[in-house]
């Protein structure tokens, strides 16, 4: 514990999870294309090839997955430090967070690069 009474990693992971959650909300609503890396730097004729709402929603889903993974890691840190004998639960939560994060990135990048074109 630090002098302020907070666990550093729990606080950082919780703040990160809340930040990613807050950033995913406008993207899930189909707005906030300015948050999508690379989309704003494209030439206008390249931007016309993408469906902006689909791209925003795909990015919002990816951020939501990252938020869930950060939340799982924060919970794992709590189990790891606060409860005696809960190390096994913490290990499973860390593993689940890693699987969620990897699957989220792989599926999200695939979806954004193949399904977000205008038809």
Band (101; pLDDT cuts 50, 70, 90): very high
Q: Residue 47 domain-assigned?
A: yes
Q: Residue 94 domain-assigned?
A: yes
Q: Residue 1 domain-assigned?
A: no
**Angle at the Cα of 119 from the Cα atoms of 114 and 31, rounded to 5 degrees:** 75
Query: How many angstroms separate the CA atoms of 75 and 93, rounded?
Result: 8
42-82 residue pLDDT tens: 999 999 999 999 999 999 999 999 999 999 999 998 888 76
Give pTM, 2 decimals: 0.86
Tell whether the model's pLDDT for residue 3 goes beyond 60. no
Q: Report the number of distinct structural domains present in the chain.
A: 1
Average model confidence (pLDDT) across the chain: 90
Q: Using the CB atoms, write b or e for 37-49: b if 16+ within 10 Å.
A: eebeeeeeeeeee
């Amino acid at each position: 514990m630090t002098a302020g009474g907070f666990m550093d990693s729990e606080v950082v992971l919780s703040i990160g999870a809340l930040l990613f959650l807050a950033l995913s909300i406008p993207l899930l609503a189909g707005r906030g294309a300015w948050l999508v890396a690379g989309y704003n730097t494209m030439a206008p004729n390249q931007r016309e090839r993408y469906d902006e709402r689909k791209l925003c929603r795909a990015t919002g889903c990816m951020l939501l997955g990252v938020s869930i993974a950060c939340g799982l890691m924060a919970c794992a840190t709590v189990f790891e430090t606060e409860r005696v004998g809960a190390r096994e639960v913490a290990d499973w939560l860390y593993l689940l967070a890693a699987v969620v994060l990897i699957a989220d990135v792989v599926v999200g990048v695939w979806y954004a690069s193949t399904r977000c074109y205008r038809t």
